[in-house]
Every structure is written in C-alpha cells, then in structure tokens.
Amino acid sequence: MTPTKNISLKPFHSFGCDVNATYFTTIKSSHEIELAIDWCKKNDKPFLVLGSGTNMLFTKQVEALVLKMEIKGIQKTNETASEVYLSVGAGENWHHFVSYCVHKGWGGVENLSLIPGTVGAAPIQNIGAYGVEVKETIETITAYDTIANKWVSLNKLDSDFGYRNSLFKREKNRFIITKVDFCLQKQPKLRTDYGAIREVLHQKKIQNPSLEDVSNAIVFIRTQKLPDPKMLGNAGSFFKNPTVSINQFELLKNKYENIMAFPISDTEYKLAAGWLIEHSGWKGVKKGNIGCYEKQALVIVNYGNGTGQEILDFSAEIIQSVFQKFEVVLEREVNVI
C-alpha cells in the first residue's frame, strides 16, 4: 500500500475548509484495511477514517493516514414472510441505500431519507431524524478492532447506542466499520407522527401514504430547511439537543414559556438546541466567512473561505452566549479534528 502524500481534504468534507492530510488512501475492501493498519504500525502513524466528511470539522492539518471508505455493495442475506435482511458496504451512500429500500417497499429507514453520508458512518452517531434512529434497524456491524487487531461482529447491544452516540463514537478511532447488516420490514408501520410530515402529506392530499410518500415528504421538508452542502458548507446540526433535569426544565419554562422541549424520561427533558440558539440572538448572524444559518439556527455555515478554526471559534461564542442566557451547556455534535 502506497498512500498519497499531502492531499487537500477540501473536496472530501462538507464544510469545505482547505486543510491537508499528510497521507491519504481509499479503502475498497476489508483486505485494504489490514494493509493500511499494517502500514500505520510500520510507519508509526495514526489513522483517521473518513466517510463523506459530512460530520467533520477540520481545524488543522491532519497528521495521519486518512482512510476514505469506499467499500460498496447491498446484498440480501435472508428473508422471512415479514422481514428482509440486508448486508451493506460501509462506503455506500446512505440516501442511495434508503432509496433502494423505499423502492423495494422495505420499511424502517424512510424517515432517515436525505441524511448525507455513508452507511458505515450511520452507526457512529446513531443517525436520527423525524422520530427514528438507525439503531432500530441495525442487526450487526462488522468492524476491524484496531486495538485487539481482529475482525469483530457487534450486535445492537454491544454497540451501546445512545442519542447521537455509540460505542464507536466513545471509543474514537478503535473500530473501522466495513459492513452494516440491517433488518427491514415488509409490512412497514409508517411513522408520520411528526407535525411537519403530517402537514406535507395533508398539503399533497395524501391520506394513505406509501413508503415513497413519506420519504418524498421528508426530502421535501429537508430541502426547504437545510442548506445543501454543495452550495453552502455545513455539517447539518452543529450541536446536540441538551438534556436537563425536570427541575431545570421547570425553572426555564417559568421564565421562557415557549421554550421548545420534550420529555425523555420521568426525570429528564431534552431542549431544542436550535430554539436556545435562536433565542440567544444568533439566527442569521454572519461574522466574516462564518454564519448561523438563517432558516435553522442549529446549522453553522461556511460562506466561502472560512477556516475550521474560525468555525470552531464561532461555535464557542454560541456556546458561551447560550450558557449566559439559559445556563445550559451545548455540546458539539460535529467531530472536531
């Protein structure tokens, strides 16, 4: 294996910041992972796994071997009267996989339509949208464990999924995912309880929606409210929705009666980070090359030649200002390198 030296990562991540990686290679098979890890060990270099780079913020030169995941393939491995099992390569485009399932009439991932990125990255932060998380459809994950130096097959329980979190995110740079196995439903129960989905279906006069109708509605909603990374650099939601105790929520509710929040247990609430940011006065604010997106305060955008450090500094200002106003600490969802 001979990696390319000193390559710009600008085309390989959605913020479009111009940073270089000291070494770069594409990975098209499991065997190439073993070769790459071997190379890292022999040359005493770290590695960094990259999917489509839609959840990355590069703030400096990447002094590592970047492994750009390009393992493809969608294979049916089993089928029952009600379920279908699929094994999908980590480098497959996520939305392409969703569209494939929707087209076949297999339900479970349609609410995750149009989330950018690769299939292999989906378990990392347990991607979620419109009331669904990817963990619900995942059966097993095949990965190379770079600490134990062996291939592992991890099930849902092993993967320890949480809200925008998993074993893979917590144990950063330990597992390199090559394949994700999913179980999808042949007679899917549609999840249209989100107000925005219901509204679009109503507008389109669709009373008994199909999988395709739900997927199309979500694509429509997302296209309206999120910037296309090809036009405007961004990584989707920059921050996680913070969790607070019921006591803290009630104090906030007394002060800000319209605060957006929802209960997640008997003792905790999740606050809408976008609402907190917007009500701290950031929506639409632009500072030099960087800004808080005018249609969705949770998204930080790069208007052109902004650096990763400028984006990080801008996000730190938002964190500080939200804390000053609400005494709530925002945590970044994006992976800062």
Ligand X SMILES: Cc1cc2nc3c(=O)[nH]c(=O)nc-3n(C[C@H](O)[C@H](O)[C@H](O)COP(=O)(O)OP(=O)(O)OC[C@H]3O[C@@H](n4cnc5c(N)ncnc54)[C@H](O)[C@@H]3O)c2cc1C
| 290-292 vs 299-302, strand pairing mode | antiparallel
Binding ligand X (rule: CB under 6 A), the pick from 122, 132, 218, 221 is 122
Q: Is 8 in contact with 14 (CB distance < 8 Å)?
A: no
For residue 20, give both structure tokens.
């270089």
Q: Is 79 in contact with 85 (CB distance < 8 Å)?
A: yes
The residue count for the chain:
337
Q: Is 303 in contact with 134 (CB distance < 8 Å)?
A: no
| Backbone angles phi and psi of 327, in degrees to 5 | 55, 40
The reply on whether position 306 binds ligand X by CB under 6 A is: no
Q: How far is the CB of 35 from ligand X (least distance, A)?
A: 16
Q: Which stretch binds ligand X (CB under 6 A): 120-128, 145-153, 206-214, 269-277?
A: 120-128
Binding ligand X (rule: CB under 6 A), the pick from 128, 188, 209, 242 is 128
The reply on whether position 124 binds ligand X by CB under 6 A is: yes
The reply on whether position 308 binds ligand X by CB under 6 A is: no
Give catalytic status of residue 174 as yes or no.
Answer: no
Q: How far is the CB of 279 from ligand X (least distance, A)?
A: 22
Q: Which stretch binds ligand X (CB under 6 A): 125-133, 149-157, 195-203, 280-288?
A: 125-133
Q: Which stretch binds ligand X (CB under 6 A): 81-89, 175-183, 204-212, 274-282?
A: 175-183
Nearest-angstrom CA–CA distance, 78 and 84: 6
The reply on whether position 16 binds ligand X by CB under 6 A is: no
Binding ligand X (rule: CB under 6 A), the pick from 125, 137, 192, 215 is 125
Give catalytic status of residue 14 as yes or no.
Answer: no
Q: State the alpha helices, DSSP H only, in 105-210.
A: 156-159, 167-170, 195-203
The reply on whether position 88 binds ligand X by CB under 6 A is: no
| Backbone angles phi and psi of 115, in degrees to 5 | -70, 125
Active-site pick, 14, 237, 280, 315: 237
Q: Which residue, 167 or 252, is less far from ligand X as judged by CB?
A: 167
3-state SS, residue 142: strand
H helices, E strands: number in the chain: 9, 20
Q: How far is the CB of 51 from ligand X (least distance, A)?
A: 2
Q: Is 121 in contact with 161 (CB distance < 8 Å)?
A: no
Give catalytic status of residue 164 as yes or no.
Answer: yes
Binding ligand X (rule: CB under 6 A), the pick from 89, 116, 242, 308 is 116
The reply on whether position 57 binds ligand X by CB under 6 A is: no
Q: Which helix (H) or strand (E) holds 36?
A: helix 30-43
The reply on whether position 49 binds ligand X by CB under 6 A is: yes
Nearest-angstrom CA–CA distance, 189 and 73: 27
Can you give the binding site for ligand X, defined by CB under 6 A?
Answer: 14, 49-56, 69, 90, 115-118, 120-122, 124-125, 127-129, 168, 175-177, 226, 229, 234-236, 335
